[in-house]
A and B are shown apart, each in its own frame.
Chain A
């Protein structure tokens, strides 16, 4: 275990950060939160024009993005074979030749994210890689199965070897303003996770307003979430920059108030290398450099990696790349 930790030290979650223990539900704080949609959209619309990363810096940033990817397959037709292929890609996300040229051998993705039934296959395929397995849970994606089964699902997944659990919240608690119920639910999920880290999926596309996103973010952090995450990838609108800005501002406020750093995971809809760079600059500017590590930031994405690989090859060769030159997941 010691040896493994040392090897994984670049990427393992929560190595240096104390885990967010949560706090009592502070409804006054929740009620005081505002999110002005137009202003938030303006900030996001101008950000790509304000921040630009070029040449070697761009390559380094894209490599960083790879190290932050939760390489994900969450499909009804997932098989163990498919999951093994994904895990192989997580171990070797970029062709060895390219990584050698860039002097970044050993780079892996941040984690692999699968459904519960695929955990054993993933754990086996990632053995000794240092790459954690994350499992979506609690009746993902809708979260409407019986509560005791949702809790039991977490416990099963942890037993099966998942080190990270991505839970889904009950959107109805947000939509009806029942913050106490949301808090209680999240707290129970967190307890069920034990040592595994818990990411709270807010399903922001179903919360109706950015203010609701901000308030749900805070309540989940108060209840002990290690990460807050935008989406399941199954909603009609998934991760967006405005939603991300709202969530990371909530994370910043929570840190200012409690001293605990909570991680952030945008998921769904981020498929271009350029988008990934914008996200990273958003995190760097709004939250700070510390959050650009896998213990505090992840991309939930499946096709993003392919675009980054092509950009990296372009960086090295100067010629635009083609998809078939890079190993598929």
Chain B
């Protein structure tokens, strides 16, 4: 075209970013890569190709890690970990800082290589992925610097296995490696097999930074390598990827004692109220679902529009879609690039083809004739019953439906198994700040979307996984308390056939929904003292009692909305009433355990209640310093319904130590009382009944932990299960929890020292951090 013709057509024309430097780097490396183990690249095999999805060209050949490779990597990480941790925070900070600087110096090389390998537009890799990855290392250099001073009780976990996805290859690497090594861990990381190249370039950067050998190890290959890492002698697995693989990892690591964080899929709602800036909300959708071809776990893929503005909104949205530019990802004038691989492209095609509901609009734009491209797509008029409203597509496909009221918007938004992110648009600050806490999501964006920063935690609730990446809250994923637990043997109940100590028969029932209820099965068990005397009977709860207790707990959700002040008052009231009956409880404990520790235990329990009451209105969230004009509010929210298998050895203190912090934070609990010594728990009903604890907030079951563990851990309406039981149930709980990916906190056959006040640790487990991003400005 001549200039004169362009003057008339005013077309954009090609604006390609050169791939020359990145391709030259690949050639310099021999176009073949081994693994990066113990500071060196291993001899490359040629097991599989890494291709450019935009044109199918082979970029390099990569090596599938063998068991021996994984072992060597883990060994290298293990060997270097002690020294790396001993280097101290400030020492580690200098390396993280050097890595950040090197990422910055080679920013364009990383960006172009990422785009070649992944297919994402160069604008995104250049302006988003790479700068955020740098930022993560800068931020965590600071965290390393501050660790000793600010986290004196924390220590590294050890060796971390990290498995990352293909949608943000370098950024996910940064999210995993930066906090891990900052806290003194060493890592074995596996990039996704489609997109390993920037991880290998990063390995080169580690060498340039002089990072001690073995601190970062990178092995390449497919899911089989991921399984090897999961099974290896590591202390932690951090995984980002699909919910189905996350579930398998949960099952595989169950009972191993390995720490686990999972960042999984989503079907994040994108809610538009009728008072929103409609044009801006539409532009936000471009960043929500057409960012990275929609291959984003937190993509705003489920559009919910208030009915009154729906027609206008959808008309404008379609017009906007038709202005998107789809094509060569290396073109600087492209909005939507290539889907990562033909396999993914097929998945998207099949899911869209299978849909019969709603009306589909695909962007009326010029599409490339070759490569893995899918047009920006909108399917409007769906209902929650349609599969595409529930299933993650992981492609540039937006589905939509309408709502009438804010309350209905919340219901629709939360009508999903997932809970990663949510976006809402309104100009009404009251509405925005009312909605944000109600949405089941780890991240909420108000009047914006897909905002990320190292200073704000990212992660989900429900089946979107657990754990946070970024911010102070993210450090919990790579540290543990220095306190050591002791091995715990099964605490056995006393048997006997002695006479009742009390002339009048006392049969304790279960405590469900604020009422004493007979066990569903109709079985009871005698509780004997050390001398064999019958102290009383307790009901044997079964799975139906678990069901009833969880239903009562779920129904008491208004407890989560009460103020910290009110919850503190109730906790103080409980301790007051317990104190009034201290002698009775003390005697009961002594009678059951045959020890003389009852008095001390009751006093400690009263103290625990006081501690929890004290924290109820003080376990504050934070306002993170994210680099926008606005705030990221890190709010601590209750986890929800928590099932607890209480400590056997400390019948009252174990129960109170778990219950008090949990309800202080607004959770509702289903407590399985000490199995051998349950009568302190059953006596406690009366304390609860006289202390204004609303029905359903605390539910107590008695019976066999081994029998109660499974129905609790598999219950899909339970959000977390903790176990301090002396029964061997940790593995089963963790494996069974995979059903809805509930949070678990199990003892793996160890016991804490209950005489030590660990309230803060409990508070951490009893809350999830939700980051609410609120940009502002008039």
Interface residues of A (CB under 8 A from B): 34-43, 46, 49-57, 59-61, 63-64, 102-104, 209-211, 249, 280-281, 284-285, 289, 292
Contacts and interface: CB of A to CB of B under 8 A. Distances in A.
A38 B447 contact: yes
Nearest to B628: A38
Contacts of B775: 38-39, 42
A101 to B, nearest CB: 9
A57 B12 contact: yes
Given A43-B280, A49-B123, A50-B123, A38 B777 contact: yes
A284 B323 CA distance: 9
Interface of B: 1-7, 10-15, 123, 126-127, 275-281, 283-284, 323, 332-333, 335, 425, 427, 447-448, 628-630, 775-778
Given A36-B427, A38-B629, A39-B447, A52 B333 contact: yes
Contacts of B2: 56, 103
Contact of B7 (A36, A41, A42, A64): A64
Contacts of B332: 49, 52
Given A49-B126, A60-B6, A103-B3, A34 B13 contact: no
Contacts of B14: 54
A53 B7 CA distance: 12
A39 B283 contact: yes
Nearest to B17: A52
Given A39-B775, A41-B777, A54 B15 contact: yes
A289 B10 contact: yes
Contacts of A61: 6, 10
Contacts of A57: 6, 11-13, 15
Nearest to B774: A38
B283 A60 contact: no
A171 B276 CA distance: 26
11 contacts: A34-B278, A39-B277, A39-B280, A46-B127, A57-B11, A60-B3, A60-B10, A64-B7, A102-B4, A211-B778, A281-B12
Nearest to A42: B448
A40 B777 CA distance: 10
Contacts of A43: 280, 283
Contacts of B323: 285
A210 B279 CA distance: 13
B589 to A, nearest CB: 58
Contacts of B629: 38
Contacts of B777: 37-38, 41
A61 B9 CA distance: 10
A38 B629 CA distance: 8
A43 B15 CA distance: 20
Given A39-B447, A51-B12, A60-B3, A34 B276 contact: yes
Nearest to A46: B127
A289 B6 CA distance: 12
A4 to B, nearest CB: 22
Nearest to A312: B3
A35 B448 contact: no
B277 A49 contact: no
A50 B335 contact: yes
Nearest to A38: B775
B427 A55 contact: no
Given A34-B276, A56-B3, A39 B333 contact: no
Across the A-B interface, the 4 shortest Cβ-Cβ residue pairs: A57-B13, A60-B6, A39-B280, A38-B775
Contacts, number: 103
A211 B3 CA distance: 39
A50 B333 contact: yes
Nearest to B7: A60
A129 B754 CA distance: 94
A102 B332 CA distance: 25
Given A34-B276, A34-B277, A292-B10, A104 B3 contact: yes
Contacts of A102: 3-4
Contacts of A292: 10
Given A49-B123, A49-B126, 19 more contacts: A34-B427, A36-B277, A36-B427, A37-B778, A38-B628, A38-B775, A40-B277, A46-B127, A50-B123, A50-B333, A51-B12, A51-B333, A54-B15, A61-B6, A63-B7, A104-B7, A284-B10, A289-B10, A292-B10
Given A38-B447, A38-B629, A39-B284, A54 B277 contact: no
Contacts of B275: 34
B708 to A, nearest CB: 50
Given A38-B448, A38-B775, A49-B123, A59 B3 contact: yes
Nearest to B11: A57
Contact of B1 (A37, A52, A56): A56
Nearest to A56: B3
B424 to A, nearest CB: 12
A239 B276 CA distance: 25
B448 A39 contact: yes
A40 B126 CA distance: 22
Contact of B15 (A36, A38, A53, A280): A53
A6 to B, nearest CB: 18
A51 B10 CA distance: 13
Contacts of A210: 778
Nearest to A51: B333
B108 to A, nearest CB: 14
Contacts of A50: 123, 333, 335
A56 B277 CA distance: 37
A52 B327 CA distance: 14
A36 B423 CA distance: 15
Contacts of B123: 46, 49-50
Contacts of A40: 277, 280
Contacts of B448: 38-39, 42
A120 B83 CA distance: 85
A37 B628 CA distance: 13
Contacts of B126: 49
A249 B279 contact: yes
Contacts of B427: 34, 36
Contact of A209 (B5, B276, B278, B778): B778
A216 B540 CA distance: 73
Contacts of A52: 12, 15, 332-333
Contacts of A104: 3-4, 7
Nearest to A245: B279
Contact of A53 (B4, B333, B335): B333
Contacts of A54: 13-15
B12 A36 contact: no
A103 B447 contact: no
Best-buried of B14, B277, B775 by chain A (most CB within 10 Å): B277
A104 B7 CA distance: 9
B617 to A, nearest CB: 32
Contacts of A37: 777-778
A27 B4 CA distance: 45
A131 to B, nearest CB: 18
Contacts of A35: 277, 280
A38 B776 contact: yes
A64 B10 contact: yes
A210 B777 CA distance: 10
A328 B447 CA distance: 47
Best-buried of A38, A40, A49, A50 by chain B (most CB within 10 Å): A38
A32 to B, nearest CB: 8
A56 B15 CA distance: 11
A49 B127 contact: yes
A55 B727 CA distance: 74
Contacts of B628: 38
A322 B602 CA distance: 88
Contacts of A36: 276-277, 280, 425, 427, 447
Nearest to B776: A38
A92 B126 CA distance: 40
A55 B123 CA distance: 19
B719 to A, nearest CB: 33
A29 B629 CA distance: 30
B628 to A, nearest CB: 8
